Structure 1
Amino acid sequence: MTFFSRHNIEKSSYEKLYYRYNHEIFTCIANKIENRDDVLDVMQEVYIHLWKFREKILIGNAENIIFNTCKQEISKFYRRTDKEPYSEELTYDRADNSINELKAAKKKDRRLTELERSIELIIPPLRKTIFKMSKIEGISHEQIASQLNMSKSAVENQIAKAMTFLKKHHSNS
């Protein structure tokens, strides 16, 4: 294989890589750097680095190499410009809120389960059907009234009663 044919194969593979990951690279950098011109400058540095080491990329895990290169170039950008990082993820001294986030997610999940249980077990069957059709399935009040052969105001009344009950029953949760 001659130098030129190997070079063309590498160039073709690199171009495929470019088109495959261009949007992800832009997004990755834009999440860390606010100014669009700076984002484009860092992207250019990423592509230069990737071109220099294209043989390793084409052989190894391209995605890992690409996103590690993005992180390195973002760090270089901040060191070079003496700017503060735009994204919180680059700030290493921030408090770890994962426990609080987990507790909040569990509490929300528990409340949702209680709400679903109330809908299923406590609300009368017709009211439950109307409520689910409206709030969960997104069916209009007119369509529900037509399907259940009742007036639109009766449908609205049933939904209001269900909402009132759920608000009262779950306000203390």
Structure 2
Amino acid sequence: MLDNAIIMLAIILLVNVFYVSFSTIRVILTLKGRRYIAAAIGTVEITIYTIGLGLVLDNLDRIENLIAYALGYGLGVITGSIIEEKLALGYITVNVISSDPDIAFTQKLREKGYGVTSWNSYGMDGDRLSMQILTPRKSELTLYKAIKDLDPKAFIIAYEPKQIHGGFWVKQVRKGRLFKNDQKETR
């Protein structure tokens, strides 16, 4: 089977797509503190890597094998990043500044299950409503839509917090109450 050049190229390409995808996921899991799952994925990753590299090294006289290996690597980066987006592990903190300090942002977002801390602030052109919102990454796009529906001109900055402790967020997660309204709406 490995004598067929087309099959060999396909195997090398697919092996590298899988290897790099696993590598991307392993790094992300490591950064998220999920070291045991990352270690298990790393074990599979290095096995796949060794097989693919062995196929290329055994056939170094064929440049197309090296090209398939490199192309598989690039496709693996794309595939791994798509998988990571679908997994959407962790949380995101969104800072919002609205030019309308009287807008009922805070209450409307809280009704949707978001933990919102808000305060009045002052910008270059006057009073503002500033908010800090914490949400699972899986809910990130839904939050952006809710914000834009309330104030299309809102200034939004998002980042991933390294550690979360205390407050509304921890209480709601422990009680399983977070986003209960969204679950009812999707049924």
TM bucket, shorter chain:
under 0.3
Greater RCO (CA < 8 Å, at least 6 residues apart): 2
Instruction: Indicate the structure with greater helix content.
Output: 1
TM-score by length of 1: 0.26
TM-score by length of 2: 0.25
